[in-house]
Amino acid sequence: MNRVAGNVGFLHEGACYDLLTRAGLHPPPHGWLGESLPFTPGESVVMKGIAEGLWHKSELGAVRFLSYESKPLKLAAKEIQARVEAEGFPWIGALVCERIRMATSPGLPTEGFASLTKGEGGWTLVLGLGGMQANALGALAPPLRWPLAFVKPVVALQELETHLLGQVWLGTLRGTKALTSRPQLLAFLKGLWAAAELAEAEGLDLLELNPVALDLNGDPRPLDGVGQGTSPRQERPSPPTGFLQSLKAPKRIAVAGVSSKPDGAGRIIIENLREAHFHEGDLLILRPGETRFLELPCVSDVGTLLRAPVDLLVLALPAAVALGIVEALIVQGGGASVVALVAGGLGDGADTDGLGERLKRTLNEARREGRWTPALLGPNFLGHVVPAKGINTTFIPGDKWTPPVGGGSLALLSQSGAFLLSRISGNPQLRLGLAVALGNQLDLRLPDLLHELESDPEIRSVAAYVEGFAPGDLEATAFIAARMKQAGRPLLIYRAGRTEIGLAAAASHTGALAGDRDLEKALLTRAGVKIAPTIAAFDAGLAWLGAFPGLESGPVAVLTNAGFESVAAGDLMGGAFPPAAFSETEVCSLREILRAHGLDNLVSPNLPLDITPMADEAAYRVIHELILNGEAKVLVVGLVPFTRKLELEDFERATAFARDLKAKAEQQGKAVALVVDAGPSYDSMRKALATCGLPVFTRMEEALEGLNVLG
């Protein structure tokens, strides 16, 4: 009766107590009625009716408080057995436990609960106020969540001390006394970490301990416990590695589905790729019966690609036809490193023939057998962009969207193609190394791209739009993010689909899977992911990462000619990016500068620094040099352009101003951004300021929000 059959299924309380004991935790002394029990006549005990699948015993009257006497115990057990069997629960036995005397604090809840769950993010411990009213108490004091792979017991103890449960237990609330000690709580937490390891070894994915009470010696005692296990999920074979180079620097590309219609997806893709100026024979069209089409060479079938493989094959074809081509590639054992599926209808709501499942089965069988397969992007692949190479596989025509030029060290990944295009279109100066629309992720998924990017020396930061995590992807993403953080390479994520309405929209869009939002946030944050609360914050963080991928936290200085910006900045700075301050020496130097520029009676020499609309370009230049020589790690320069003193509307003049600022910042190893809070008539000024690669914002709030989301 002490083991769950086959290590999978329901873990009853007797078996749970055994596991907890082996983990170093201390459930009540106990035994089964009819066996030798560690009690003396008259001792207070608790009898529990244990039945298969019975989680909540109290609600069925399957818990009795008795004296240890043989006859009353047997009668109670018989009555409890009849009650639970009448409700359809198979009887296991009567568990007799010592009745633990609990420590209490008058007027305050003192019972806790602990839940160990293995989900998409690995093992997580949830700890909070417990007992019969755990749900109601949780609304008043939300439980703590700790992903065990990223949190150590000593850190958990520090956080428990600030939670209401920890304050009650440790007696840190006014007028209360300590019921336990920090060493006892640390030992309890270490036991929970050990219990998760044992649960993993036994095929479990859930342990529920409720309540957990303190005995009179201050030791946490799990008074009730059950668990559950499920059949293990078969892991998917990983896609082939090394596909990133085929996306970033493809030497040969073929496109299928190119027609003479100028508005066809395949036609637009091939016209966009012409701009990359491939050598003759390196940009191909897969078109049966043709040798040349649209002045480009053609290949008639995939057999030709086996003899002369391409790095990327884009299939702008109906789902069934695209599936046949992929299957032919796998059968022949080569032809394209990466295949991009533009159409939908493979594994989504439009797939009424099971084509997606057929494709996944074909890929998985081949990979398990060690046979060659391509890496697949999509379906619903909108395209990818490599600015430094001029690569643009989107099916968006050039008169509707202009891809970025130049290169950078930021990678932008998105489960929504439209989101990707909108971000780039809204920030044409963004320094991108790679942008990829992932589509429905039938094969290549977010962690696969992140895994390749983390070892790419040219990519120093990654930003991603995520609508959901497929099974196994959340944990994989967290571990990759932790390694990236260790290497000083930030990962910024905007997680869409967080509300019920948002979830429904995401499901209708890409079929993305949604998980526990609190768990996701706890796990990803602990792993070092920067999570943007809004798209606006994501955009602002993106602008900073594009210009300064290795952005370091530290004091922030704001220099502006508008009082409202300095006031707003003071409200917005903090956390990892606190406000900078002038030293006494710097204040003296600043006073001299202000006097030389006729500003000494107008400006208070403090940061954030408002130098008023009377400041000209020369004053800006000398003051921002003073600030960059100081303690500030980041400088944000506000240029409200309505004053005659600041004539930066001229393109060349604005460009020179920005270049001078950037050069001085680079000399000091500092980050700098510009803010032009004005209407669209000043867009040309913003464009001029951005030409040298500095981020340019339309509001001071944007610039500082971007820092806060990266802090």
Which tens digit of pLDDT belongs to each residue from 167-180?
A: 999 999 999 999 99
Q: Residue 52: which of 97, 1, 101, 102 has the closest Cα?
A: 1
Q: Residue 380: which of 438, 465, 447, 467 has the closest Cα?
A: 438
- Residue 323 has, within 13 A of its CA and on its CB side, a CA count of 19
Q: What is the mean pLDDT of residues 382-403?
A: 93
Task: Count the helices and strands in the chain (H runs, E runs).
Answer: 23, 30
Tell me the DSSP string of 284-335.
Answer: EEE-TT-SEETTEEEE-SHHHHHHS-EEEEEE-S-HHHHHHHHHHHHHHT-S
Answer yes or no: is 107 within a domain. no
Q: What is the mean pLDDT of residues 269-290?
A: 95
The sign of the CA dihedral 49, 50, 56, 60 is negative
Examine the domain organization and report whether 357 and 220 are in the same domain.
no
Answer yes or no: is 10 within a domain. no
- Residue 318, amino acid: P
Examine the domain organization and report whether 425 and 478 are in the same domain.
yes
Cα dist from 69 to 63, 98, 424, whole Å: 16, 13, 77
Q: So what's the pLDDT on residue 544? A: 97
List the beta strands (DSSP E) in 503-555: 530-532
Q: What is the mean pLDDT of residues 401-407?
A: 83
Neighbours of 275 (CB within 10 A): 12
Examine the domain organization and report whether 543 and 560 are in the same domain.
no
Q: So what's the pLDDT on residue 339? A: 98
User: How much helix, strand and coil, in percent to the nearest 5, is found in the chain?
Assistant: 40, 20, 40
Which phi and psi (to 5°) does residue 436 adopt?
-135, 130
Q: Cα–Cα–Cα angle for 579, 582, 588, nearest 5°?
A: 160
Q: Please state, in angstroms and rounded to a whole number, the distance separating the CA atoms of residues 668 and 671.
A: 9
Name residue, tokens 């050990």.
194
Q: Residue 248: which of 424, 409, 397 has the closest Cα?
A: 409
Q: So what's the pLDDT on residue 498? A: 58
CB 235 within 8 A of CB 287: no
Tell me the DSSP string of 585-619.
Answer: HHHHHHHHHHHHTT-TTT----SSEE--TT--HHH
Q: Please state, in angstroms and rounded to a whole number, the distance separating the CA atoms of residues 289 and 304.
A: 13
Q: Residue 676: which of 699, 650, 706, 709 has the closest Cα?
A: 699
Measured in Å, how far apart are the chain's first and last C-alpha atoms? 52
Q: What is the CATH number of the domain that holds 478?
A: 3.40.50.261
- Give the model confidence (pLDDT) of 650-693 as tens digits: 999 999 999 999 999 999 999 999 999 999 999 999 999 999 99
- Give the model confidence (pLDDT) of 512-527 as tens digits: 323 367 788 889 999 9
Q: So what's the pLDDT on residue 561? A: 95
- Give the model confidence (pLDDT) of 309-329 as tens digits: 999 999 999 999 999 999 999
Examine the domain organization and report whether 572 and 681 are in the same domain.
yes
Most distant CA pair in the chain, distance: 100
Examine the pLDDT at 3 and tell me if it is beyond 50.
no
Choosing from 529, 547, 565, the residue where a domain stops is 547
Examine the domain organization and report whether 410 and 312 are in the same domain.
yes
- Is 140 strand, coil or helix? helix
Choosing from 185, 201, 229, the residue where a domain stops is 229
CB 694 within 8 A of CB 662: yes
- Give the model confidence (pLDDT) of 555-611 as tens digits: 999 999 999 999 999 999 999 999 999 999 999 999 999 999 999 989 999 999 999
SS3 for 364-410, per residue?
HHHHHCCCCCCEEECCCCCCEEEHHHCEECCCCCCCCCCCCCCCCCE
pLDDT band at 8 (very low <50, low <70, confident <90, very high): low
- List the structure tokens of 616: 């000209």
Answer yes or no: is 566 within a domain. yes
Cα of 210 vs its chain's centroid, Å: 30
Q: Please state, in angstroms and rounded to a whole number, the distance separating the CA atoms of residues 66 and 55.
A: 21
- Residue 349, amino acid: G
> Which residues span the domain enclosing 139?
112-229
- Is 218 strand, coil or helix? coil
Q: So what's the pLDDT on residue 132? A: 66
455-469, 488-502, 533-547, 580-594: least confidently modelled range: 488-502
Total residue length of the chain: 711
Answer yes or no: is 599 within a domain. yes
Q: What is the CATH number of the domain that holds 152?
A: 3.30.470.20
Q: So what's the pLDDT on residue 397? A: 93
- Give the model confidence (pLDDT) of 412-438 as tens digits: 999 999 999 999 998 888 999 999 999
Answer yes or no: is 212 within a domain. yes
Answer yes or no: is 578 within a domain. yes
Choosing from 492, 522, 547, the residue where a domain stops is 547
Print burial letters for 657-673: b (CB count within 10 Å at least 16), e (below 16): bbebbbebbeeeebbbb
Examine the domain organization and report whether 37 and 62 are in the same domain.
yes
pLDDT band at 228 (very low <50, low <70, confident <90, very high): very high
Examine the domain organization and report whether 655 and 515 are in the same domain.
no
Give the total number of structural domains in the chain: 4
Q: Cα–Cα–Cα angle for 424, 429, 433, nearest 5°?
A: 70
Q: What is the mean pLDDT of residues 42-63?
A: 93
Examine the domain organization and report whether 93 and 125 are in the same domain.
no
Examine the domain organization and report whether 542 and 656 are in the same domain.
no
Answer yes or no: is 253 within a domain. no
Examine the domain organization and report whether 394 and 451 are in the same domain.
yes
Examine the domain organization and report whether 443 and 497 are in the same domain.
yes
Q: What is the mean pLDDT of residues 134-144?
A: 78
Q: Please state, in angstroms and rounded to a whole number, the distance separating the CA atoms of residues 350 and 365.
A: 24
Q: Please state, in angstroms and rounded to a whole number, the distance separating the CA atoms of residues 450 and 585.
A: 47
As a whole number, the mean pLDDT across the chain is 92
Examine the domain organization and report whether 611 and 683 are in the same domain.
yes
Neighbours of 507 (CB within 10 A): 16
Q: Give percent above pLDDT 70 in the chain.
A: 95
379 preceded by a cis bond (ω within 30 of 0): yes
Examine the pLDDT at 508 and tell me if it is beyond 50.
no
Q: So what's the pLDDT on residue 501? A: 42
- List the structure tokens of 201: 């070894």
Answer yes or no: is 501 within a domain. yes
Q: Please state, in angstroms and rounded to a whole number, the distance separating the CA atoms of residues 112 and 164.
A: 10
